[in-house]
């Protein structure tokens, strides 16, 4: 209450032009900006094959999440959210994503939504290990995380309307319990959906007004195109498309431009994700690790051990 929340810290030193935007655009649906981005599929596929030969099974989803984690380590402004018209620095780095459950029946499709937390210093190998562990735990047919259990309680429309209204009220004033924020996928740094897994193009998925999600990224099915080759002649190329939707209110457009440029660079040179970042930036003393621990001193350089889980 009064600006205090378990999942964020109110930013004090912020550009007035940024601070006023939540009053001009009260909801996230007012402030959605959309972008198409494409990465070289061949480079990513070759990298995944090479790492597989070394004993590291890495997926496209893991590469995207690892690139996002690295971007947040360098541009913490992207890890903000808006609640009750105030701008907060998030006290954790989390990614939510949906996965298909293993029902044993190819004609039965069931989804489970999970959320994983990361350290800003995580490499692609750290990210891969955490995601594989999370998927193994939640893909089993009998696996029901707290998110699924909560949604089953809301099958009654009257009960659902009442509970959601209460949750929105508590969230507005920062008194929604932390365990509920941890259970709900809408309280996350980024929401990811892999449309390629079902043969769909990269959709531009809306970001939710409920919760604190400020960024939604969609991975689409591989596209074939013709581009100029090194010799200037047309060459066939396979590209991996992304649909990005962001809340424009949380930071300056120039910061988003840096985010897109860096994300694109990492996706086209994934070997960079194997290195532990030497410089990790945090906003206004907001130093955290994968457990959401916030320390009270300002850090300009953070080593891998300083923010380990």
Residue 76's pLDDT is 95
| 235 falls within a domain | yes
pTM: 0.86
Which of 6, 32, 8 has its CA nearest to residue 21? Answer: 32
> Which residues touch 270 (CB under 8 Å, ≥6 apart)?
43, 44, 47, 63, 66, 67, 124
| 58 falls within a domain | yes
**Cα dihedral 161→164→170→171 (10° resolution):** -140
Chain segment 223-272, per-residue pLDDT in tens: 998 878 778 888 888 999 999 999 999 999 999 999 999 999 999 999 99
Q: What total number of domains does the chain contain?
A: 1
Q: Is the pLDDT of residue 214 over 50?
A: yes
pLDDT band at 305 (very low <50, low <70, confident <90, very high): very low
Chain segment 58-117, per-residue pLDDT in tens: 999 999 999 999 999 999 999 999 999 999 999 999 999 987 665 555 655 667 788 999
| 138 falls within a domain | yes
| 73 falls within a domain | yes
| 1 falls within a domain | no
Chain segment 4-60, per-residue pLDDT in tens: 899 999 998 888 999 999 999 999 999 999 999 999 999 999 999 999 999 999 999
Which of 63, 62, 49, 74 has its CA nearest to residue 269? Answer: 63
| 3 falls within a domain | no
Give the count of alpha carbons within 13 A of 238, CB side only.
9
| 236 falls within a domain | yes
Query: Which residue range is the domain that position 44 belongs to?
Result: 8-307
Residue 297's pLDDT is 39
| 232 falls within a domain | yes
Contact by Cβ (8 Å): 89, 82: no
Chain segment 109-152, per-residue pLDDT in tens: 667 788 999 999 999 999 999 999 888 876 654 445 566 666 66
Which of 176-185, 285-294, 296-305 is least confident?
A: 296-305
Q: Which two tokens stand for residue 229?
A: 């080759």
Q: Is the pLDDT of residue 308 over 50?
A: no
What CATH number does the domain containing 99 carry?
3.30.559.10
Residue 306's pLDDT is 38
């Amino acid at each position: 209450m009064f600006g205090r929340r378990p999942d964020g810290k109110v930013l004090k030193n912020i550009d007035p032009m940024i601070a006023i935007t939540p009053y001009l655009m009260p909801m996230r649906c007012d402030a959605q900006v959309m972008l198409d981005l494409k990465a070289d599929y061949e480079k990513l596929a070759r990298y995944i094959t090479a790492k597989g030969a070394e004993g590291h099974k890495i997926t496209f989803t893991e590469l995207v999440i690892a690139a996002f984690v690295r971007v947040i380590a360098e541009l913490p402004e992207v890890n903000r959210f808006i609640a009750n018209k105030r701008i907060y620095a998030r006290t954790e780095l989390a990614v939510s994503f949906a996965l298909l459950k293993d029902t044993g029946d190819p004609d039965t499709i069931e989804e489970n939504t999970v959320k994983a937390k990361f350290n800003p210093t995580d490499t692609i190998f750290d990210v891969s290990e955490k995601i594989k562990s999370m998927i193994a735990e939640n893909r089993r047919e009998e696996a029901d995380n707290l998110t699924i259990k909560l949604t089953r309680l809301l099958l009654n429309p009257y009960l659902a309307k009442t509970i959601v209204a209460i949750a929105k009220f508590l969230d507005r004033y920062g008194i929604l319990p932390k365990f509920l924020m941890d259970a709900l996928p809408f309280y996350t740094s980024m929401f990811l959906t892999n449309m390629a897994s079902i043969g769909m193009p990269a959709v531009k998925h809306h970001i939710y007004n409920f919760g604190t999600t400020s960024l939604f990224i969609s991975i689409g099915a591989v596209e074939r195109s013709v581009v100029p080759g090194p010799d200037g002649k047309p060459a066939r190329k396979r590209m991996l498309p992304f649909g990005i939707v962001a809340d424009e209110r949380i930071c300056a457009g120039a910061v988003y431009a840096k985010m897109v440029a860096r994300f694109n660079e990492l996706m086209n040179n994934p070997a960079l994700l194997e290195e532990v970042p030497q410089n990790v930036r945090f906003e206004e003393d907001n130093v955290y690790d994968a457990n959401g621990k916030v320390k009270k001193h300002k850090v300009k350089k953070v080593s891998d051990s300083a923010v380990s889980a």
